[in-house]
Amino acid sequence: MPEMPEVETVRRGLAPLVESALIRKPLLYYPGAVKHPSAGEFTRGLDGQKIAGTGRKGKYLLFYLGAGDTLVVHLGMTGALVAGFPSDPELGGGKHLRAVFPLDNDCTLYFSDPRKFGKLWLLKKEETLDCLYRLGPDWWEEATPLLLEEKLAGRKKSRLKPLLLDQSFLSGLGNIYVDESLYRAGLHPERRTGTLTAEEVDKLYRAVRNTLREGLDSGGTSTQNYRNARGEPGNFQDKLSVYRREGYRCRRCGAVIERCVVAGRGTYCCPSCQPIA
């Protein structure tokens, strides 16, 4: 599932391949992926636009266009944005191909998404996207120990896991990196934030940052469909401590990793390293 390390890995891979290129006659195989404006306006509006640069906020990928417009892409759970040459039979996503963006540098951008949770927007210069506007500071680009402390002070009754999944709190974390971060911090997913000591808040901050850094260094996590800009999987799944390791031994203490459901999401933790306290 694309979270911040996966989305950022895709962005870094795509940037040198797409920057300064012109989009030529995009094709939309699944119009439902376009959330704004209409599918027709989307393809017409992109045609001929130059990709001036790339960006990311939380799990949203941003392509800054020459006219001041922005192409916004959310990969959902299974989306992949792969750049390559049309002659490569491995590319294109097969039957799950949702959109194709041919570029004038002979490269083509393929958007495939088996479960159709991915979304596309084309924003005019003067338009803002509600969901982008509501995003909290990015965990990687903007979070600081002081900021986390301040934000937690306003949410003392929240449970840790649902709060960390809330993109309006701080953005970029999803189910995998929340579970892994809480394990590293030695904190139970259902701990109330108001019960955290200053030392635990600091541990949490460092755990999230270190987990994200390692995820980035490994090129992301590929438990299912995630692929980078060149269609290759990441390696972080081999380094996971708790996620999807139910029944296996904790590498630190030997206790059996448990699975429960928190905030409607499969949640993994070590009952010994992460006491409910």
Partner DNA sequence: TTCGTCCTGGTA
Partner DNA sequence: TACCAGGACGAA
Q: Which residues participate in catalysis according to the annotation?
A: 2-3, 59, 265
Span interacting with DNA, options 10-18, 136-144, 169-177, 204-212, rule CB under 7 A: 169-177
Which is nearer to DNA, 253 or 277 (by Cβ)?
Answer: 277
Asked if 94 is part of the footprint of DNA (rule: CB under 7 A), the reply reads no
Q: Are 115 and 98 spatial neighbours (Cβ–Cβ below 8 Å)? A: no
Q: Left (φ > 0), alpha (ψ -120 to 50) or beta: where does 214 sit?
A: alpha
Please give the size of the binding site for DNA, defined by CB under 7 A.
33
Span interacting with DNA, options 12-20, 136-144, 227-235, 263-271, rule CB under 7 A: 263-271
In the stretch 111-140, what mask flags binding to DNA with x, by CB under 7 A? ---xxxx------------xx--x------
Query: Could you give the CA distance from residue 229 to residue 100 in angstroms, rounded to a whole number?
Result: 14
Considering only residues 31, 162, 233, 271, which one is a binding residue for DNA as defined by CB under 7 A? 162
Please tell me whether the peptide bond between 86 and the residue prior to it is cis, using omega within 30 degrees of 0.
no
Span interacting with DNA, options 62-70, 104-112, 171-179, 203-211, rule CB under 7 A: 171-179
Considering only residues 16, 32, 53, 86, which one is a binding residue for DNA as defined by CB under 7 A? 32
Which is nearer to DNA, 102 or 220 (by Cβ)?
Answer: 220
Residue with tokens 């509600």: 130
Considering only residues 11, 59, 227, 245, which one is a binding residue for DNA as defined by CB under 7 A? 59
Residues that bind DNA (CB under 7 A): 1, 3, 32, 58-60, 74, 76-77, 95-96, 114-117, 130-131, 134, 155, 157-159, 162, 165, 167, 174-176, 261, 263-266
